[in-house]
A and B are shown apart, each in its own frame.
Chain A
Amino acid sequence: MHLLKRYIIPRLIQWLVVIFVGVTVAFIVPRLSPLDPVQNTLNRMAVYGLMYPEAVESLRATLEELYGLKGTVFEQYIAFWKRLLTGDFGPSLSVFPTPVIQLILQALPWTIGLLVTSTITAWILGIVIGTLAGVYSESRFSKVLETLVMCISPIPYYIMALTLVLLFAYLIPIFPLAGGAAIGLRPSFSWTFISSVLKHGFLPAFSLVIISMGWYFLSQKALTSTLVASDFVTYARIAAVPRRTILYRYLIRNSLLPQATDLALGLGSVFGGALITEVVFSYPGIGQVLNTAIFQGDFNLMMGIIILSVVGIATGALIIDLLYPLLDPRVRYH
């Protein structure tokens, strides 16, 4: 009970507050945009052919009503919460009246597929290689590996992606330049489709993996080398505990905890999409949708995606915070 009162409930309240603040920010931020969605629609209609000026005025009033942008900002804010609590993100304003949720759901599978796969792959690879490099830290191979990782991991993501595109889509064209699957294919469980998705997803996923793997690798190696030097491993060695047991039972298990934190946070941020990755590789995910929403002043779509992402990250962090002390007795609740 003490635990509940002293730690869990305040943490839950903090989670709620963080989400409330995040969602409110998500409401306010799009309204700082220099774009007015109604005027935007009118401007784009003018591109197709000029309208009678009187008609423009009357259409403006109609659209304000339809877009839910009538009334004061505060009234809109209240209406926004009412809608949100029933799970309704409202209609998109750039492709009115398609619901925001439909646009999100359309893009989400691509993003989740790409990001979950690459995050987990990077995590596992980083930990396995990092542990080995930490245990055999004096070996030449480990040193080469560390240098390599150290040279790759700080490279700005865009530069890395551009280099990969240059190398593997232009110079040695073994991977496609754009898209989520080959054009002309329908989503299905056929091998053609899946292999096409894999082929199209490889380069973006690869770029994400090598950039984030470096981080996992380095921290895992650091953790392992400290553990290797720690007392209990030394005792285990003296007690002739088999090397493999030391490796798996002691080293990996003990270092997994802090690493799990990062994994959870990484997975939590999946909903925000990978904006640059998706733009560079023309990948049809949520990041692209968000990018378009920003550039076209689609308030509702922006809010929808930001809210999803806020809830994702906040919940990821909450879960870790709640589980962490249970798993790691060294950290006490404050």
Chain B
Amino acid sequence: MEVLRDLLRYDRRFLIGFIITVLVLLVFPLSLLSPYEPTARRVVPTNLPPSWEYPLGTNALGQDIAWNLIFAVRNTLIIGLLSALLSRMIATFNGLISGYIGGVTDRVLSTITDSLIVLPRLPILVFLSFVMRGQLSIWGIALILAFLDWAWPSKRYRSQVLSLREREFTETALFSGMSTFSVVTREHLPFLVPYIMADVISGFIWAMGMEITLSVLGLTSLSIPTIGTMIYWANYYQAILRGIWWWIGPPVVVAIATVIAFYLLSVSLSEFLDPRTRLQRIKVRPEMG
């Protein structure tokens, strides 16, 4: 709690990130209050601009855009977080084993990891969702995304471990009689934990981006509201051409606000947890196209 207070007081980035995150997380309780089923269509008059009754207007499918947005954000958050947690769990396990055990185990694991890395990820993802669609619930998407996103982080964790092993203080510690186990837990983990935590957020941001990408291509279950499917439907009914900004705008704005908030939180958190790891600042490797 004290940590939180300090962060909120001294780090403006954290404050901003925190406020937006809290606002975004409000969708979870809010979604329980919705008068409509998340997938229901034609529950309100179609194509109305924003008004007191419908703060964000209604869309061509007869949905209240505000409630639709709340469900969308909730589902996208679920997909992103689930995928990020799962993939980082696999990655941590794989990376640590590779890094510490080394030898043949490392070589086999590394080859598997590398083989996955050389595959062009987005096309494979597009293909997998193309094959499996119809059966893709939000959990299914999260699983596929997690499956495709553990290779890079596990390579990174492995090299983190390797570089930690190479550092002077490791040798110093070993020379001074510390056991390997305590070196790992007492000297290395403080480096790794914030690194992995920050990385979970980068995984979330990636997963969210991919969910949007797949949905925009029409490859997910289109009746489940997510940020991506919202954009899909807005595009499908020519929201841009017709100037219906209250349909295409909200998911775009919320998506941007969410990732920035999460990102700010992670940067500030990892600096706070370990000032030395400025260098290891969260690595959001962008997915090109």
Contacts and interface: CB of A to CB of B under 8 A. Distances in A.
Interface of A: 10, 14, 17-19, 21-22, 25-26, 29-30, 32-34, 115, 119, 147, 150-151, 153-159, 162-163, 166, 170, 208, 211-212, 214-215, 218-219, 222-223, 225-226, 266, 269, 272-279, 287, 290-291, 294-295, 302, 305-306, 309-310, 313-314, 317, 330-332, 334
Contacts, number: 164
A314 B256 CA distance: 33
24 contacts: A25-B115, A29-B127, A30-B127, A147-B13, A154-B205, A156-B208, A157-B209, A158-B213, A158-B231, A159-B255, A162-B252, A208-B288, A208-B289, A218-B281, A222-B278, A226-B279, A272-B120, A276-B213, A287-B123, A291-B126, A295-B130, A305-B120, A313-B118, A334-B162
Interface in B94-121: 102, 107, 110-111, 114-115, 117-120
B231 to A, nearest CB: 7
B289 A276 contact: yes
Nearest to B256: A155
A324 to B, nearest CB: 11
A29 to B, nearest CB: 6
A226 B285 CA distance: 21
Nearest to A287: B289
Nearest to B117: A313
B262 to A, nearest CB: 7
Contact of B289 (A147, A157, A218, A305): A157
B289 A294 contact: no
Interface string B221-255: 00000000001000000001000000010001001
B262 A154 contact: yes
Contacts of B32: none
A150 B111 contact: no
Nearest to A169: B240
B130 A33 contact: yes
B263 A211 contact: no
A306 B120 contact: yes
Interface string B267-287: 100000000001111011111
Contacts of B280: 222
